[in-house]
Each structure stands twice: as C-alpha cells, then as structure tokens.
Structure 1
Amino acid sequence: MDDAQNSSVENQDLGQLPVWNLDDLYPGKDSAELKRDLADASEKARNFEADHAGRLANLSGDQLGSAIETYEEVQEMLGRIMSYAQLVYAADMADGENRRFYQSMQEQATDISSHLLFFELELNRLAESQLQSMLESSERLARYAPWLRDLRAYQPYQLSDDVERTLHEKHVTGRAAWTRLFDETFADLRFDLDGKALTSTEILDKLSSPDRALRERAARAFAAGLKANERSFALITNTLAKDKQIEDQWRGFARPVSSRNLANFVEDEVVDALVSAVTESFPRLSHRYYAMKAKWLGLDKLAFWDRNAPLPENDERIIPWEEAQDTVLNAYAAFSDDLAKVGERFFEQDWIDAPARHGKAPGAFAHPTVPAAHPYLLLNYQGHVRDVMTLAHELGHGVHQVLAGPQGPLMADTPLTLAETASVFGEMLTFRSLLASTQDPAKRKAMLASKVEDMLNTVVRQIAFHNFETRVHDRRREGELSQQDLADIWMETQREALGPAFDLDEDYRIYWSYIPHFIHTPFYVYAYAFGDCLVNSLYAVYQQADEGFADKYLDMLRAGGTKRHRELLAPFGLDASDPTFWQKGLSVIEGMIDELESLDGQSAAQ
C-alpha cells in the first residue's frame, strides 16, 4: 500500500478498518515537498550556525528570543521529516525500500541537526544571572522560560562541545543502528503455529484465547522463535547497556535510571518511592489476584500462558470497529464534550492505522509528529475488549498531543511520567462506561477481573520490568551478561511479581527478549506505573469533584511540557512527592481485588 494513500481495509468480522493518510506530512517518499524541506532545513541550520555560534552571550533578550524562534522552526521541519519517515517505516518494516528511506532520513536529519547542536550547549554556558536578566527584559524570550528551565537541568551533565558533537553524529551508527537491528529482526520473525507462520502480534493474541491447549502451543511456538534469535537479542541488549553505561559515566549520572528520571523531570526519590511501594504490594495485589484466578480456571497452578487467559464469563465476542469507536467516544463525551470532539477528528480525518498486517510494527502507539500537523495512531485492532481499551488508551495520548500542540515544538512534549496520564484516564473512562452498562453479575465480575489484570499489567508487570532493567544494567557494569544470566534475572523478577500461583517453566526464560522498551528507551517502563497510580488518584478526585474538574483536567493537558508534575497536580490537591501518594493509587487496585474476593465468596455461598 502506498504510504500516502487514503484508504481503509475491509475485514469480514471487524468492518472497515481505517488506514492512515500521511498526506498531511508529505504526499510521498519521493515528493518535491519532502526534498524542498530537506534543502530548506539544511540551509537554515547552516545559516543559523554561521549567525549565532559563539555569539549568544552578546545578544539582547529579544535577540535571543528571536534566535530560539528560528531554532524552533528548523526543529519542527526536521520533526516533520522524521515523523513521516518513522510512520512510513512502522507501517511496513519488512519493506526494503521503507528501511532504506528511514535510514536515509535519519542520516540526513543527523547531519542537518549537527549544525544546531552548538545552540543548546552554548545556552547552558550562559551565566544564570545573565540569562535571568535577559528573561526579565524580553517578553519574546520569557515565552520560552519553561524550555530554558528544562534545558538548564541538563547543565551539570553536559560534556565538551567536541564530545557532544561526536555522540550526536555517531548516534545513527551506534545506538540507533542497534535499535534498528532489533526492530527489523523482530519484524521479520514468523512463529510456526499449527502449520501457519504468524507475526508476533498474531501469536501473542493467541495467548488470550479461551482454549488452553491453543495458548500453550502459541506460548511454546513464540518461545521457539525467540530462542532461535537469543544470541542476537543478548548481544543487542549487552551492547546497548554498555553504551549507556559509558555515556552515563562520562556525564556523571550516579545510577542507570538517573538519566531517565532527569528526562522525565522527576526526582530520583519520587521514582524510588513508586518502585518500593509497588514492589512491596506484590503479595497484596498480583499474588492474591492470581491465586483467585487459578481457582476460577480450576487449576492448581497457573502456567505462564494462563496469565492473560480469559475467565469463563468473559465477553469473547468480536467487537466491530464502528462499535469500538462509538464506545470510546461516548465514554469521552460523558466526561467532556470538548475531549470527545478532539477524539472524533482522529476517526474523521484518517489519523489512525488500525489493521494488523505482516510487516507492520507490533503493538500500538500514538506519534505526536509536530504541532504544525497532528498526531497519528497505530493499532493492531483484532476486535477484543482489550483492543477497545487500547484504542481508548492511544486516543488519550492523541488528544493530549493535540491539546498541547499550541505550546509549540519545543514545549508541547510531556515527560513520559505525565504522558501516560491522558491515556490511562481515557482507559478508565471507557472501562467505567462499559461496567455501568453491564447488568449481569457474572459479566460484571469478568469485566472487573479484566480491569484488574490490565492494572496489574500496567503497574506490577511494568515495575517488574523496571526491576529487571535495574538488575541487568547494574550487573552489566561488572561485565557482559550471558544468555543464561539474562534469563536468570528475568525469572527472578517475574517470580517476585507473579507469586506462588505460577509455575514458570524453561520456555518462559526467553521472554525477556521481546520487550521493545528495553531497547528503544531504557527505563521507560516505570512511567506506565507512575501514570496508572496517578490516574487512580486523579479519578478518585473526579468522583468527588464538582463540575469544574473537566476544565481543570483539560487545562492540565493543554500545558504540555511547560509545567512539572508538582504544578500540574496541585489544582487537584495531589502531590506525587508525598510518600503516601502511591499508596492511594495502589489502594484502588487493592479495593477492586477486595470486591472480586467478596463476589467470589458470594458465589461460593450460593
């Protein structure tokens, strides 16, 4: 399918599934518009360097504000180019031309941006007193105060200009190349199940089948495919961990997670408190829930392919796309018409690519692109309830990105910890709407259990992933980790999280290797738990709030990256630095498990 074609795919069970139209970025890989923007960005970047390198300290406040505006303009041009390249690549990673195009755009963007690199480095060398004086003298510059605040946070970790340039220019042949190797290796994998060659998306979907024998065959086939590439995955993981260790040591980060915390503008101690609170809650949450699930399924022990098994009462019908769209938008509208109206644009204007197909990136994401355009959503929609929840989740990201867009390219992006707020809140709105419309007690129990599992996957599983990453990166400092070492750490952290209800066999030892966040964005995963616990607390406020809550919520989304978590949560009376904050969020999950235990007891008494 041509990357610019406006189309949809007819599926017998799912209806018309939308395929995104990338014309709003560029009409094609060879388009005159793309070539023009590459040339313009290159010329503007070189002129910007010639005009400003070594001269920032001599500028007035208005002149520096003007310089930042030009810098922002070039960054947006590069952002549009790379967003387009990434989306074309994600739509079909198996296509050799798409691979070459993506690599070519990365190389050209890196070359162009190398002429901009001096700007942030030189800004960080300005004396604080001089910068403050400039900010006070110029409204034009003061608009960028939040961006400058965040940029200056990196000041203690900044290296010499030559080293920074070397790291920047070699990124495309270093970390980016190893990441691309992982992505393309994984996209090319096919898993043999009952004589059919399935993609990762297709075979992972079988792990939620009500047929236990099918789940086991799928789980073992997935393990076999991963094991065939275990050496490559271990090499990629070791190389990227060592690469991170070297750069962290050069910059002076005390711990492997510290650079991610800085990027998220969240204090180390806040993340430590989250991780400790969730880890200590494992027995009260996941261990207790999975013991109940084993009983519901009539099993003494759960196998790893039973983790996402549906309950007997689950709604296993296939949900057509149009119904999924209505379900999510109606849930959004019940909270805020304004929120739903932004969401409607994604469906009306072909901003979503929904069908699962060979070569397409697995999973789901919302790509913000650039404020001058709009976000795009990638899904692999297969009609299950969890796919509806994924749509609600990614649409939340997309709506957030649209609302934050007016902040501009430099300030629209939100740290990962807060980027999950709108997505998880959208999921919660959709779940509560579905639950309220379900009267049958057995189906309500199944829905509640499904939601608990989603929350455990978002909180417990992601913190288990975080613990795995922490131990891997700590151990990597002592030397290269063997395939056995990686598997041992994986099993250790998974047993801690899942508890005694599970019997994890040898085939599960390879499952560490398919988690893309470990490769793409080290220590990303705790942001999911951060967002879920935050939203649990936020939703509790909403349930008790007056009519002004929705307006405050939308204002929070519109702020983009201009405010830190403390400022954003203050209007709701929440503070993530409060040691008791995480317990509030976890207590919501615990309360749902309590309710399930109560329903279980009532059923047994009848």
Structure 2
Amino acid sequence: MEKSYPKEWNLDKIFNGGGKSSQFLQHIERLEDLILELEGNGVKFFISSIKKSEISNVGHLLKEIANIRLNISEANSFITCLIAQNPKDQDASSLRGNVAQIDSRFEKVISEVKKVLSNIEEDVWRDILEIKGLENYKFILNEWREEADSNLSEEELSLISDLMVDGYHAWGHFYKDLVSSITVKVRVDGKEEGLSVGQAINLRSHHDEEVRKEAHYALESIWKEKEELFSKVLNHIVGYRIQVHNKRGMKNELEEPLQKNRMKEETLKTMWSVISTYKQPFSKYLERKAEMMGDSSMKSYNFWSPITKNDQEMDYVKAASFIIKHVSKFGNELESFVKEAFNEGWIEAEDRPNKSPVPFCASFPVTGESRVFMTYSGSFIDVLTLIHELGHAFHNYAMRSVEGLNKQYPLSIAETASTFSEMIIFDASMKNTKFKEEKLFILDEKLKRSVMNFMNIHSRFLFEQRFYEERKGGIVSPKRLNQLMEESINEAYEDSLDQPSIYSWVWTPHYYITQSPFYNFPYTFGYLFALGIYAKAKEKGKGFEEDYLRLLRDSGSMNVEDLVMKHLGEDITSKEFWEKGIELCLKDVEEFIELTED
C-alpha cells in the first residue's frame, strides 16, 4: 500500500490550542518576566562584570540573552504560522502585537549592551576576547561592538525601538494581511473560481496559455486598483528606514543589509559584475523558449509555463516519496530528517483558498523543530518549492547543537541549504528521465531559476536602489514606482522579457519584509554558493554530508567571506569564484539550445 502523509501541519505539538492557547500565553508571560529581569539589572550587571573582568558573569548573561532570543523566535514563528494558515485569525493578530512589544524591549537591551561594548578600549577588548570561556562568543561580540549605535543617545535608541512596533513593523504586517484578504476571480477549465493570491500565482505554470494570461491580467488589474494603498505602505516602510539610517550615520542604503548579511560590499559588487557579463546566453534561452511557443519574444505570463506537453504533475504522496528516495542518496541524516518532517505533520501543503500566498519555513529553536508552509497543487514547481523549504528546515536542524547566540545565520547563507536541496531533486529528475521531452522540461525548470537569480533578482536590486534614492526626496507616486520597476526589469533582463509586470513592486513580498531590507541579493548569493557546494558533494558522494553539516553549523559564527574560505577554500571577492558557478548554468543553456535546434 502507498504510504499516506498528512497535508496539514501539526501546530498543537508546539503550543496546544492555536490562537487561544493557554500554553502559549504562559510562554509569553515567562518571556515578559525574563525581559523584566534583564531590563532591571542585566545591563548594569554586564557593565560591572566587564569592568571587573568577571567573565563567568558575562558568559552567564550572554546565555540569558540567547535564551530570550530563542524563545522570542519560537513565539514569532508560532504566530506567523497561525496567521499564514488563517489570515483572519484575530486572536493570533492580537498576540502578534504582544510579542512585538516584548521583542522591542529586548532589542533595546541589546542596543545598550552593544553600546557598552563599543566604549571599551581596544587593548582591553583584545584581552577580554582571549579569556577562557568567551571563545565561542568572539565573533558575535565583535559584531555587536561594530554594530553599536554609538552616535545615538539612549533616548533616541528607545524612541526608534518604540516606533518599530506600531509604525515600521506594523506596515509589514498590514501588507501581509491586505494581500491575504484578496480574492482573484479566474476562469479555469471553463469555470470561474475565486482564488487566493497564492492560488492565482500558481496558475502561472498552468498548461493552458489562456489560463496563465487571464490569471496574470486578473492580478495586474487588482494591483492597479489598489496601487495607491500599496504605494503608501512601501513609501512608509522605506521612509522610516531612510530616517533611521540618517540618524545612525550610515553612508548608504546598502550598509545595513550588508551588515545583516555579514558580507563585504566588494563581494556584492563582484557578484553583480560577473553576472552582468554573462547574461546574454540566458537572453538567448528566453528567446528560444518564446520561439517554441510561437512568439517572437518571451511574454512574462509564459515564463513559468511548461516547455512541453509532457504530464509532469505529481500528487503530494508521490512527491514525498520521490523526495525521500533521492535525498537518501546524499546522506542518512537528511533522509531521516525529511522522513520525520513528512510523517510528523511539519508541513502545511493543502491547496485551499484563504491561505497566505507566500511559502516559508518557520524555525522553532526551543522545540527543535521547523514548520513548512506552502500551497501544493501538484506541479513540478510545487515539488521544488517543497524541497526548497525543507532545505531551510534542514539548516535549522543542523543548528540544534550550536551555542544559542551562534544559531542565527544571515540571509545570505539562509538560501544555501534550500537551493542545495533543490539541486538534489533536479539531478534525480534528470537521471530518471528517458525521453527528450522530459529532459527539456527539467532543463527548462533549472534555467528558470538561473534567470530568476541572475535577471529577476537583479531587477529587484536595481529597483530598490533607485526607489531609495528617489524616496529621499519625498513620497514616490505609484506611477513613478511603475516606471522604476519597468526600467529595472528591462535593464536586468536586457530587454528579453515582453510585457513584464510593472506591479512587481506590489506582489513581491520581499520589499515589505521590515526585518530584512534588500532581501534580494541573498538569493543570488545562496544560489551560486549552493551550486559550488553541490559540485563538491557530487565529487565526494555520500561522505560529504558531515562536511556539509559542519559548514551549516559554522554559518552563524563567521562572515560569508571567511565561511567560504574555510569550507571551500575560495575567495568570493574574486571573479573566478562567481564564474565557476555561472559556468554550470551556462552548460544548461547550451544543452537546452542543442536539444531544441530542430
């Protein structure tokens, strides 16, 4: 008999009772007590211990801070899951406000600790870091010292933290709620259906071009209707960031995201420079695919369309079995982990309306589990989304044995394990295929991801840079946002995409993630980094899994340049590193062009 897997997740194992969970309320109360204790004497205790070189006390406080951070993360993840599964959950929305207040108070304390560290004399600081017992905290302490807002007073730091809750972060939550409330009417198979935004977006890979086109224009019509509202949200989010950057004396809008991603500006510039040099073959791929569909250029609503009529749909149970079978060839831990995720109800995959449109993976570091959220409709793209999010979950699993403060890895590395996991499934699918049509189908899906990372993500990066610059002069109108988006897409795609969605700034959720400005380039970094790791994994075989786990465990305790040098022996500020990854993608283009010559 075929094994069955639950398509709805189990959140009660984390906190029983959903938005009315008494267990979760007790968790919040404990957090409030811990924050109160930290606010009362934590920083004073820290200052006193530093001055007296009582390092055991410093270590104790750092463990307390780590404990609070992990428990806040646990709470935030639970609320995120509740609201994603039911955006109208008022209890969860109310709890979100409570946790946001706790988070704000916690960040105030961390800001004070950072300020203390920044005021320590350099020679004293070097001595402190060499003391036994603090070696595991060396990276994070140096990072905090460098990040300190030394030019802001305590009153200004407090004001910024307060404004984040009901101003800055509230706009991000409002965006999610707004998108989740939208119903999109699309005719599918002769019947008009009221779909969620996520379900409508999933139709971009529908086999019928008329359905793809109708879904595309139905969404564009909604975005046009609500453009004023969305532009206000985006203007307020970025306007707030600009004010805070100015207060903190940051030199440009990239300083904060580079800090958060633990990346040098030189690395980012080199990456985009190399990608820009090698875009032409990907334009050629888009042109060839358009020709095969009877068009002179690639229509944006056809980009995700299947390249062949080959039936590639796979139900959820078959997808789970396929994933488990092929990750087992990489390593025993990954296989065991994926089995647990499917068997224990870690995945919310049901295809139903009134869900959030955005797939994600939520980490529960205290419980030691993760939860994956998506809408699974049976396409090969859904299989890839599923393994992508499970890759994130495996990264969380790898971090379970890591010291509390070192569990938090940057977004630049966050997309590595997810992309790596996708490559396992791509490789398996290619090996399983016997027919040219199937091979073309899989190659097309691989190349879509190359185009997304080298062209689409680049367009997001260009748009965000240009929008920031104009926002410094005041509110930017929806009309101008559309123009900026169109210009950025045309430049990034080198005019190889026809009828692009000028409302990409509306429906791309990453622009509205308040915790992560410029959440675009980490995808491209993670994509190319993962390709390099996967190439090494194929060389070494199943024995590579332990090396891979060590790399993931180090991801929270060093910058990306050092991480890549330590585990791959590569300098990522050099063009050669990026060219190696792109060369693998260029081979896919060559094979695609060769297979479609006739």
By the TM > 0.5 criterion, same fold?
yes
Q: Does 1:238 align with 2:231?
A: no
TM-score, length of structure 1 as denominator length: 0.91
Matches within 5 A, 1:140-539: 141-155=134-148, 159-194=152-187, 195-285=192-282, 287-317=283-313, 319-504=314-499, 508-520=501-513, 521-539=516-534
Whether the 8 Å CA contact 1:445–1:596 is kept in 2: the answer is yes
Distance 1:302 1:82, change over 3 A: closer
Deviation at residue 185 of structure 1 after TM alignment: 1.0
2:301 partner letter: W
Q: Does 1:21 align with 2:10?
A: yes
- Farther-moved stretch of structure 1 (363-372 vs 488-497): 363-372
Whether the 8 Å CA contact 2:86–2:355 is kept in 1: the answer is yes
Deviation at residue 117 of structure 1 after TM alignment: 4.9
Q: In 2, distance between residues paired with 1:53 and 1:550? A: 41
Q: Secondary structure at the match of 1:454?
A: helix
Count of matched residue positions in the alignment of Structure 1 and Structure 2:
584
Runs of 5+ in structure 2 lacking a partner? none
TM-score, length of structure 2 as denominator length: 0.92
Whether the 8 Å CA contact 1:15–1:321 is kept in 2: the answer is no
Q: In 2, distance between residues paired with 1:211 and 1:36? A: 51
Equivalent position of 1:48 in the other structure = 38
Deviation at residue 576 of structure 1 after TM alignment: 1.5
Equivalent position of 2:594 in the other structure = 598
Equivalent position of 1:569 in the other structure = 564
Equivalent position of 2:26 in the other structure = 36
Deviation at residue 158 of structure 1 after TM alignment: 6.0
Distance 1:36 1:363, change over 3 A: closer
1:86 to 75, 80, 84: 80
Runs of 5+ in structure 1 lacking a partner? 1-13
1:136 to 122, 130, 136: 130
Per-residue CA deviations over 1:110-168 (Å, capped at 9, x if unaligned) read: 356655653343233333433332333331x3322222122223136663222111111
Q: In 2, distance between residues paired with 1:463 and 1:314? A: 31
Distance 1:102 1:44, change over 3 A: closer
Q: In 1, distance between residues paired with 2:592 and 2:150? A: 49
- Farther-moved stretch of structure 1 (35-44 vs 218-227): 35-44
Distance 1:175 1:431, change over 3 A: same
Q: In 2, distance between residues paired with 1:501 and 1:569? A: 33
- TM-align CA RMSD: 2.2
Equivalent position of 1:11 in the other structure = none
Deviation at residue 354 of structure 1 after TM alignment: 1.1
Q: In 1, distance between residues paired with 2:542 and 2:224? A: 54
Q: In 1, distance between residues paired with 2:21 and 2:542? A: 49
Q: Secondary structure at the match of 1:462?
A: helix
1:192 partner letter: K
Q: In 2, distance between residues paired with 1:79 and 1:450? A: 34
Deviation at residue 204 of structure 1 after TM alignment: 1.1
Deviation at residue 196 of structure 1 after TM alignment: 2.5
Q: In 1, distance between residues paired with 2:33 and 2:558? A: 33
1:148 partner letter: L
Q: In 2, distance between residues paired with 1:365 and 1:158? A: 37
2:139 partner letter: P
Deviation at residue 392 of structure 1 after TM alignment: 1.1
Distance 1:53 1:563, change over 3 A: closer
Whether the 8 Å CA contact 2:413–2:555 is kept in 1: the answer is no
Q: Does 1:102 align with 2:99?
A: no
2:93 partner letter: R
Q: In 2, distance between residues paired with 1:100 and 1:51? A: 29
Q: Percent identity?
A: 21
Deviation at residue 553 of structure 1 after TM alignment: 1.2
